[in-house]
Amino acid sequence: MPALALIATGLPARAQDLPPFAINPERVHPMSASRCARAGTYIVPSLYLYVLARSRTGKEEKSSRRIFAQGLEKTELQALSRTLYDDFVGRLRAGGAKVLTYDDIRTDLAQLPRKQMDEKLGMPVRNGREDLLEFAVAAPSDEQAIDWDRKGPTFPYRALAESRLAAVIVPEISFTLPQSGTKRNKAGRSEVKISPALVFSSGMMNGMPQDLRWCNIHVQEHTYRLAAPVAGTVVPVRQGEILAGKWSVRRGDYDFVVDPQALRTGVLRVGYAFNSLMAETLRGD
């Protein structure tokens, strides 16, 4: 039902139909981005969307509380990734650049490994912040969820960059939900504080010009400019432990039931703003 609800909402997908999101220029850090500006030809094999799926309120395993996002469906997130991917490609082409998409280089990438699926979540995951967080990973399609190990998102395309005389661009956009932490009350006891907001936690344009160096843009977390002020509902977990392992459910943990409309709107408005930033930089603006 959540997947169907997301598709059936009829929310506008175009940037001009959504509330604008203003990226704070003080949080933007170009790293030799000019090396890829006006490259002429770009290879854009994928776009990776990361949404927080499981988190803990503290570093201590026994005392911390787990929070599980409920309603993150693979089809939903892939659809959002595809929308942002197509938008970014369209922006580059509108600026006069030639763009090679995944479909153009599919045969060249056939032998590359793909990301492994997490059995509990049903999609790939990415760990973050001392294993306190796990993000659901979504590419526009299963085929475009290419695994690069620890070598970086552009590494698998080195030969293509040289042979096609092109710059490779692989965007990554990350979101956290909900926001959680602990605070001491007047009695000195630790209380869990949870905010239902969706936060733009980072954006990364991973770029590699044909000389195989780098041309990146990093956008830091936007804590006070929220992607969505309310992205779901917090529900205490009442059952005892039902699964073994690091992310088992225990009494005192929380579910966060995601609002699919809020998620879609928040992800797209931020994603469009980040796409605009990348496209303008690559045009040399």
Confidence band (pLDDT; 50, 70, 90) for 8?
very low
Among 53, 48, 45, 121, smallest CA distance to 78 is for: 48
Q: For residue 178, say if its preceding peptide bond is cis, omega within 30 degrees of 0.
A: yes
Count CB-CB contacts under 10 A for residue 71: 18
Main-chain phi, psi angles of 75, to 5 degrees:
-65, -35
Asked if residue 20 is part of any domain, the answer here is no
Q: How far apart are alpha carbons 15 and 17 in whole angstroms?
A: 5
H/E element, 261: helix 260-283
Q: Tens of pLDDT along 136-183?
A: 999 999 999 999 988 899 999 999 999 999 999 999 999 999 998 777
Q: Give per-residue pLDDT as tens, 73-95.
A: 999 999 999 999 999 999 999 99
d(CA 281, CA 25): 13
| Domain count along the chain | 1
Enclosing H/E stretch for 260: helix 260-283
- 19: in domain: no
E strands, the chain, are 28-31, 41-44, 48-56, 66-70, 98-101, 125-128, 133-138, 167-176, 179-184, 190-195, 199-208, 216-219, 232-236, 254-258
User: At how many degrees (to 10) do helices 74-94 and 260-283 cross?
Assistant: 30
pTM of the model: 0.90
Provide the domain limits for residue 184.
2-14+26-283
Query: Tens digit of pLDDT for each residue in 239-269?
Result: 654 554 566 677 778 899 999 999 999 999 9
- The Cα–Cα gap between 53 and 69 comes to 5
The two three-digit tokens of residue 80, written as one number: 């959002």
Given this model, what pLDDT does residue 114 score? 95
Asked whether residue 21 is assigned to any structural domain, the reply reads no
Has residue 252 been placed in a domain?
yes
